[in-house]
A and B are shown apart, each in its own frame.
Chain A
Amino acid sequence: DSGVTQTPKHLITATGQRVTLRCSPRSGDLSVYWYQQSLDQGLQFLIQYYNGEERAKGNILERFSAQQFPDLHSELNLSSLELGDSALYFCASSVASGRQETQYFGPGTRLLVL
């Protein structure tokens, strides 16, 4: 158990809908990262937040957005969902924001768009 929690574990929705994925980092960790893992795209870095501020942005679509709240939990919002958005979404956390930091991954949220 990494100490990172993600809810829900599974999510089934329809095209065009909007969903919110939630991540609680390990106690004391200030950075949160979001990743998408799909069969065709592999593991893609989406975005990083550090202490409430966006720190780095990867291959995140404009239909997707994220934020980190004062209590340090983070939410990833996916809107206008398409079939291709079906994937496993991971959250990770680390103590600080540097690239040398060890990231601890949550168990993921599996999203299925029908």
Chain B
Amino acid sequence: AQSVTQLGSHVSVSEGALVLLRCNYSSSVPPYLFWYVQYPNQGLQLLLKYTTGATLVKGINGFEAEFKKSETSFHLTKPSAHMSDAAEYFCAVSPGNQFYFGTGTSLTVIP
């Protein structure tokens, strides 16, 4: 069975601090992994994705994520949080033709 676990439904960081959003997955086949961001009253927007190759993936808005097969993780990081980063973040895995999303992490940035 495939699943995605996002640890921490709510994360708060101070402006300028490191952002770390955790994602662990289970997949019976090599997965493709994604992080999406959802701003209030909007659809999802792709931040970054891992398909094959380099395990450190850089995305938009200064975010990056590292695929660690041994830990079955794909944590999202950003060195310095900005107020505009406040949103809901979803990790997703695609082991085949389907897509499985985590329950989301709401990021609050404190000025």
CB-CB under 8 A from B42, the residues of chain A are 107
User: Nearest B residue to A42 by beta-carbon distance?
Assistant: B103
A57 CA to B96 CA, complexed, in Å? 11
Closest A residue to B99 using CB positions: A45
Task: Give the nearest-CB partner of A97 in chain B.
Answer: B97
Chain B interface size range: 20 to 34
Q: Mark B64-105, 1 if CB is under 8 A from A, else 0.
A: 000000000000000000000000001000101111111110
- 12 example contacts (A-B, Cβ-Cβ < 8 A) are as follows A2-B43, A2-B45, A4-B43, A42-B102, A43-B104, A48-B97, A56-B98, A58-B98, A99-B97, A100-B49, A102-B46, A105-B45
A contact residues around B51 at 8 Å (CB): 100
With the chains together, A58 CA to B94 CA distance in Å?
Answer: 12
Whether A99 contacts B94 by the Cβ 8 Å rule is yes
B32: min CB distance to chain A, Å: 5
* Tally of A-B Cβ pairs under 8 angstroms: 50
A106 contacts the other chain (CB 8 A) = yes
Partner of A99, one of B36, B43, B96: B96
Q: Does B56 contact A (CB under 8 A)?
A: no
Given contacts A90-B44, A108-B43, contact A102 B49 (CB under 8 A): yes
- Chain A residues proximal to chain B, CB less than 8 Å: 2, 4, 33, 42-45, 48, 55-58, 90, 92, 99-100, 102-108
The chain A residue with its CB closest to the CB of B94 is A99
Q: Once the chains are docked, how many angstroms separate the CA of A2 from the CA of B42?
A: 10
Contact of B101 among A2, A43, A104 (CB under 8 A): A43
- Name the distance in Å between B46's Cβ and chain A's nearest Cβ: 5
Given pairs A100-B49, A104-B46, 9 additional interface contacts (CB within 8 A): A43-B44, A43-B101, A48-B97, A56-B98, A57-B98, A90-B44, A99-B97, A100-B51, A107-B41
